Amino acid sequence: MTTETPKLSFSKKQLERALIMRADGFEDFVQIRTEENGVMRTAVKITEPPDAFGQGGGVIDFQMWENLREMVELLGTHRLLSILKARQVGLSWLIGAYALWKAQYFKGSVVLIFSQGQGEATSLLGKIHSIWDNLPAHLQEPIGLDNSTTIEFPNMKSKIVALPSTEKAGRSETASLVIQDEADFHDNIDENYAAVKPTIDSGNGQLIQISTVNKKKMLSMFKEIYRNARKGGAPVVKGAKHNGFVSKFFSWKVRPNRNQAWYDRVESEAPETAEMSALLYMEQEYPNTEEEALRPSRVMAAFDQEVLDYMFEHETKEPLETRENGIVRVWQLAAPGRRYVAFSDTSHGTGGDAAITCVMDVASGVIVADIKSKLLPPQEFAMHSFNLLDEYYNPLWGIEDNDWGITTIRTAQEMGYRNLYERKTRDGKPSGKVGWHTDDVSRVALYGDLIQAIHKHHITIPARDGVAEFMTVIRNPQKNGRVEALVGTHDDYPIAVGGCWQLRNDAAIQSTVTEIYSFGDQNENEVESES
């Protein structure tokens, strides 16, 4: 007698739930349609505000735009994602749905979401809760703990935790999925990354960094990870030995029904503030290309951004040597027959502005070594600089004599340094005063010459953080175009490089080296000889 295997019978609801629980079922989750009151609706729904006239909005079906299909594919194939985007292209709702899918259908899941502040964290968790609230009942996993920071699913022993990006956030958690939302605006992204990366590595988890660009912060872990993922190189950020990230950029155009007419209207209505011009607003919120997103505003930038982009991508590199716990960095060792100059921009050494000494090769315009620290007292800064410059044949050394620079000058003199810069009078004669004096006149001259030198690419800067400071120097429209660092940034490195550039002329006059590079309007390969 033959015994037939009984056929299993599944309801439509059971099949739907089984479908979206598959490891590759997230696309099914956001696209599956189910009957509600005789109408076919998507299971996943989002909440949209009404328009300016009170029309539309409310709870609507999730729409799978083409850019969201691309994102779904990336989510299903890569552990480490770096996503640079324009505003309002649908990714926040998609990521919220992804976090909910993970927590609902994968037992033991811990989803950590980092946002800029608690308000942003609560807002994103609210979107996730809204998606859950509007799911068909048979797709809702029962919720236990439910507050402004946490949603728990006790049957699955899983949870979603939304945290502000504080220094210690995420340290005690082991995560299967980490989302850093608007990552470029996190003050503590470095610490958060260092805390959670080992936890996802241990369980083959997933890390997603997603953000619009912060135009006021040109050097950040998010930008570094994105840049290196884009070019396939190794990261230079703290905490990461290898860059396994995959990058993707979504422009303002990816949202359906957006066209040039829409962009022009938004641009015409863009806000103007003391710190944000209309152009800067559009470049930050609605970039068209990743190059536009990563570049500072064209309106405010003091230096040629294309040259700086080239420097950052092709000329910056790791130092040949680092010493004194990273304070001293060397890219080129001193070479016999070469002529060097050095300039020091001093600081209090209390953690504010950095004290910088740059060493420049006169002939090539290359920064060959530097000293950089926010915590070195002026005397120690002078000693480190003295020792470094001794390796480069005691070059002409300019020290800013403002504020704590006087202490640095006196320490250098006491140590016996004999080649300190002596500023001249207005008629070009020696003044008898040691040190570079920064005032409105000398500052304009320094920056004016430096801007031209960068534009002509006569200077090479191998330090990534150095080039990044150049990127945030602006012509302040509120101060009649005064060249200065963007609010919240520094221009210590540009001042040090600009000082070296000023000292080149004096060094060339004093030089016994036969080959001195001619940086004027002559051919860049031209060399002139001294008698």
**Residues 62-78 pLDDT 10s:** 999 999 999 999 999 89
Q: Is the pLDDT of residue 246 over 70?
A: yes
Q: Are residues 226 and 316 in the same domain?
A: no
For the packed helices 91-105 and 12-21, what is the interaxial angle rounded to 10 degrees? 100
Looking at residue 210, which CATH number applies to its domain? Answer: 3.40.50.300
Number of H-type helices and E-type strands within the chain: 16, 23
Cα separation, 493 vs 370, in Å, equals 10
- Angstrom CA distances, 14 to 102, 134, 139, 480, stand at 18, 18, 9, 69
Burial class (CB in 10 A: 0-12, 13-18, 19+), 346: buried
Q: How many CB atoms lie within 10 A of CB 264?
A: 10
- 200: its two tokens: 């996802």
- Residue 465 is which amino acid? D
pTM exceeds cut of 0.85: no
Cα separation, 240 vs 434, in Å, equals 44
Q: Across the strands, what pairs with 173? A: none
- Angstrom CA distances, 103 to 151, 172, 180, 439, stand at 9, 19, 17, 60
Q: Are residues 75 and 184 in the same domain?
A: yes
Q: Across the strands, what pairs with 160? A: 111, 151
Q: Is the pLDDT of residue 522 over 60?
A: no
Residues 248-256, mean pLDDT to the nearest whole number? 95
Rounded to the nearest 10°, the torsion over CA 216, 219, 220, 225 is: 130
- 302: its two tokens: 């003091």
Q: Is the pLDDT of residue 101 over 90?
A: yes
| b/e map 431-457, b = 16+ CB within 10 Å | eeebbbebeeeeeeebbebbbebbeeb
Cβ atoms of residues 46 and 63 within 8 Å: no
Residue 523 banded pLDDT, cuts 50, 70, 90: very low
Q: Are residues 320 and 178 in the same domain?
A: no
132 located within any domain: yes
Q: Are residues 101 and 35 in the same domain?
A: yes
Residue 296 banded pLDDT, cuts 50, 70, 90: low
17 located within any domain: no
Residues 334-361, mean pLDDT to the nearest whole number? 87
- Angstrom CA distances, 456 to 306, 307, 360, 472, 522, stand at 11, 8, 17, 19, 11
Q: What is the predicted pLDDT for the residue at 433?
A: 87
Question: Which one-letter DSSP state was computed for residue 259?
Answer: -
**Residues 3-50 pLDDT 10s:** 554 444 556 777 777 777 776 689 889 888 887 778 888 889 999 888
Domain boundary among 187, 216, 251: 251
Tell me if residue 115 falls in helix, strand or coil. strand
196 located within any domain: yes
285 located within any domain: no
Domain boundary among 216, 234, 251: 251
**Residues 166-180 pLDDT 10s:** 666 656 667 889 999
Q: Are residues 242 and 311 in the same domain?
A: no
Q: Across the strands, what pairs with 321? A: 330
Question: Which one-letter DSSP state was computed for residue 4?
Answer: P
24 located within any domain: no
Cα separation, 215 vs 403, in Å, equals 31
Tell me if residue 19 falls in helix, strand or coil. helix
**Residues 412-438 pLDDT 10s:** 999 999 999 988 777 777 777 899 988
Tell me if residue 343 falls in helix, strand or coil. strand
Domain boundary among 251, 286, 319: 251
265 located within any domain: no
470 located within any domain: yes
Cα separation, 37 vs 42, in Å, equals 13
Q: What's the structural domain count of the chain?
A: 2
Please list the alpha-helical segments (H only) found in 106-249: 118-133, 189-202, 221-231
Q: What is the predicted pLDDT for the residue at 439?
A: 83
- Angstrom CA distances, 38 to 59, 63, 321, stand at 17, 20, 71
Residue 409 banded pLDDT, cuts 50, 70, 90: very high
Q: Are residues 216 and 342 in the same domain?
A: no
- The residue with tokens 């809702």 is 140
Residue 390 banded pLDDT, cuts 50, 70, 90: very high
Residue 213 banded pLDDT, cuts 50, 70, 90: very high
Cβ atoms of residues 461 and 497 within 8 Å: yes
Q: What is the predicted pLDDT for the residue at 516?
A: 29
Q: Are residues 314 and 438 in the same domain?
A: yes
- The residue with tokens 């030198």 is 453
Least confident of 21-25, 278-282, 291-295: 21-25
Q: What is the predicted pLDDT for the residue at 85?
A: 96
Q: How many CB atoms lie within 10 A of CB 123?
A: 14
Q: Are residues 513 and 385 in the same domain?
A: yes
Burial class (CB in 10 A: 0-12, 13-18, 19+), 389: buried
Q: Find the domain containing 120 and state its range.
A: 31-251
Q: Are residues 233 and 372 in the same domain?
A: no
Cα separation, 40 vs 524, in Å, equals 70
Q: Are residues 238 and 328 in the same domain?
A: no
Q: Are residues 150 and 247 in the same domain?
A: yes
Q: How many CB atoms lie within 10 A of CB 18?
A: 13
Residues 334-363, mean pLDDT to the nearest whole number? 88
Looking at residue 337, which CATH number applies to its domain? Answer: 3.30.420.240
Residues 122-149, mean pLDDT to the nearest whole number? 91
- 402: its two tokens: 């403002």
- Angstrom CA distances, 483 to 132, 463, 476, 486, stand at 51, 21, 6, 9
- The residue with tokens 């009078």 is 425
Cα separation, 436 vs 398, in Å, equals 6
- Strand 110-115 vs strand 177-181: parallel, antiparallel, or unpaired? parallel
Q: Are residues 353 and 227 in the same domain?
A: no
Q: What is the predicted pLDDT for the residue at 254?
A: 95
Q: Which helix (H) or strand (E) holds 356?
A: strand 355-361
Cα separation, 185 vs 270, in Å, equals 21
Q: Across the strands, what pairs with 47? A: 59
75 located within any domain: yes
